[in-house]
């Protein structure tokens, strides 16, 4: 019988840890979000992050800018948050509206306040398998989910579909870390030739391509663990990047959409923020 890997329980365990660490720290921990434009999905995600932060005792600062805000003004806001001592973590909600360069905005974030783990410095530490920086929130959440459900990763073949710096690239790196998951990793994407033949090799299949129904049952190895990162709206329903119904017949475990990876991303964001606050406090 296929096991359903929901994010609720492991996410709550992380939130409980974050709350304990905030109490032990003995200071206000602040998370600032920057939302540019009025994308409905982004607005929902930001509200969820603020709600989760409040529940663990974290202070939040909500910065909203109109979609036509110039690049320089967005970057100036980020720099002002860098200088604000009440802010321990900064999150710029992506995607940004057309006309804004997300790379230069992310580059403006102080790596010591990079709550989402997307600054080049943070990603560089992941590449080098070194500690001391924030780990990209969604990949970190997935790793903690695999650990929570005791999914064996050592020596397993992991196929990652997607190559964004938000999920795909850092996900593959974390799975490949010698001191961590120690998996054999194959990167694929929506234009990979004969994609089903590649995905069928996976003991662990992680799909983050943003294309509903990209992976179907014939492309899944019997007994594989399938992690669906996609969130797509189809006919007023939220669906992932995999055909959940058919794959549930062959996989040993699968994440639902919604309710799978999403809660883990938010929990990891909070975990990064308290870790950054602790590092700042230790540095004086």
Chain segment 28-64, per-residue pLDDT in tens: 999 999 999 999 989 999 999 999 999 999 999 999 9
Digit-coded pLDDT (tens) for 171-216: 999 999 999 999 999 999 988 999 999 999 999 999 999 999 999 9
Q: Which helix (H) or strand (E) segment is 105 a member of?
A: helix 102-107
- Give the chain's length: 284
Residues contacting 156, CB < 8 A, separation 6+: 183, 184, 203, 204
Q: What is the pLDDT of residue 236?
A: 84
CB 60 within 8 A of CB 31: yes
Per-residue confidence band for 235, with pLDDT thresholds at 50, 70 and 90: confident
Digit-coded pLDDT (tens) for 126-148: 999 998 899 999 999 999 999 99
Q: Which of 93, 114, 203, 241 is catalytic?
A: 93
From the list 122, 124, 208, 139, the residue with the least C-alpha distance to 175 is 139
b/e sequence 228-256, b meaning 16+ C-beta within 10 Å: bbbbbeeeeebbbbbbbeebbebbebbbb
Concerning whether 236 is annotated as a catalytic residue, the answer is no
Concerning whether 116 is annotated as a catalytic residue, the answer is yes
Concerning whether 71 is annotated as a catalytic residue, the answer is no
Distance between CA 34 and CA 102 in Å, rounded?
A: 12
Distance between CA 178 and CA 1 in Å, rounded?
A: 31
> CA angle at residue 80 from 76 to 81, to 5 degrees?
120
b/e sequence 88-126, b meaning 16+ C-beta within 10 Å: bbbbbbbebbeebebeebbebbbbbbbbbbbbebbbebb
Q: What is the pLDDT of residue 55?
A: 97
Mean pLDDT score, 260-272: 97
**44: phi then psi, degrees, rounded to nearest 5:** -65, -45
Q: Which of 15, 88, 113, 116 is catalytic?
A: 116
Q: Is the pLDDT of residue 284 over 90?
A: no
Domains 23-113 and 137-262 belong to one CATH topology: yes
Sign for the pseudo-dihedral over CA of 45, 46, 47, 48 = positive
Distance between CA 254 and CA 97 in Å, rounded?
A: 33
pTM as predicted: 0.95
Domain limits, the chain: 23-113, 137-262
The domain defined by 23-113 folds into: Rossmann fold (3.40.50)
The CATH number of 137-262 is which of 3.30.300.130, 1.10.150.20, 3.30.360.10, 3.40.50.720?
3.40.50.720
């Amino acid at each position: 019988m296929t096991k359903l890997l929901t994010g609720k329980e492991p996410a709550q365990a992380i939130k409980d840890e974050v709350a304990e660490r905030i109490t032990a720290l003995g200071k206000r921990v602040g998370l600032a979000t920057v939302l540019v434009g009025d994308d409905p999905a982004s607005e929902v995600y930001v509200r969820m992050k603020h709600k989760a932060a409040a529940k663990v005792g974290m202070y939040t600062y909500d910065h909203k800018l109109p979609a036509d805000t110039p690049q320089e003004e967005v970057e100036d806001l980020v720099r002002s948050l860098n200088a604000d001592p009440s802010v321990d973590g900064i999150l710029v909600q992506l995607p940004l509206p057309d006309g804004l360069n997300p790379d230069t905005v992310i580059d403006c974030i102080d790596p010591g306040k990079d709550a989402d783990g997307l600054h080049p410095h943070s990603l560089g530490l992941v590449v080098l398998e070194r500690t001391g920086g924030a780990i990209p929130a969604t990949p970190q959440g997935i790793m903690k989910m695999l650990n929570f459900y005791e999914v064996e990763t050592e020596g397993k073949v992991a196929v990652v579909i997607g190559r964004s710096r938000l999920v795909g690239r850092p996900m593959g790196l974390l799975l490949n870390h010698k001191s961590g998951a120690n998996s054999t990793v194959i990167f694929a994407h929506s234009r990979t030739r004969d994609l089903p033949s590649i995905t069928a090799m996976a003991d662990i299949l992680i799909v983050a391509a943003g294309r509903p129904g990209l992976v179907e049952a014939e492309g899944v190895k019997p007994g594989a663990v399938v992690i669906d990162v996609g969130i797509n709206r189809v006919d007023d329903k939220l669906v992932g990047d995999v055909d959940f119904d058919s794959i549930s017949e062959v996989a040993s475990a699968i994440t639902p959409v919604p309710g799978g990876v999403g809660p883990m991303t938010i929990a990891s964001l909070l975990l990064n923020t308290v870790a950054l606050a602790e590092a700042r406090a230790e540095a004086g």
